[in-house]
């Protein structure tokens, strides 16, 4: 099995910079799933439940991340973020 790892995000960030980076990633994923759901609906006149679930999970993540960012801002703390992605052939 071939497995590859890539470090997409690595570093210490101010709360504002962390918000910019993290929201860009999450919003890109939400946009992907919105387009996928729309495409599925146009092609098959069906809702794409997988995309709907992922959008819901990602939206919840936004709320949780915003709470962390607000806490970081209140306490004057920086955030260390490590974001790895693993890709495997299946």
3-29 pLDDT, tens per residue? 999 999 999 999 999 999 999 999 999
The confidence score (pLDDT) of residue 44 equals: 75
Strand partners, 81: 11
Instruction: With a cut of 70, list the residues of the chain below it in pLDDT.
Output: none
Provide the residue range defining the domain that includes 58: 14-77
Domain membership of residue 46 (yes or no) is yes
For residue 36, what pLDDT is reported? 86
User: What totals of helices (H) and strands (E) does the chain contain, helices first?
Assistant: 2, 2
Report how many domains make up the chain.
1
**pLDDT given for residue 50 in this prediction:** 86
Measured CA to CA, the distance from residue 51 to residue 38 in angstroms comes to 10
What is the model's pLDDT at position 22?
Answer: 97
Whether 71 is covered by a domain: the verdict is: yes
pLDDT at residue 37 in the model: 84
pTM, 2 dp: 0.83
């Amino acid at each position: 099995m071939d497995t590859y790892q890539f470090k997409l995000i690595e570093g210490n960030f101010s709360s504002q910079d962390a918000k910019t980076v993290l929201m860009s990633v999450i919003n890109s994923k939400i946009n992907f799933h919105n387009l996928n759901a729309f495409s599925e609906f146009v092609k098959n006149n069906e809702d794409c439940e997988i995309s709907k679930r992922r959008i819901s999970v990602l939206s919840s993540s936004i709320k949780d991340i915003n709470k962390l960012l607000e806490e970081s801002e209140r306490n004057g703390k920086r955030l260390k973020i490590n974001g790895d992605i693993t890709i495997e052939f299946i």
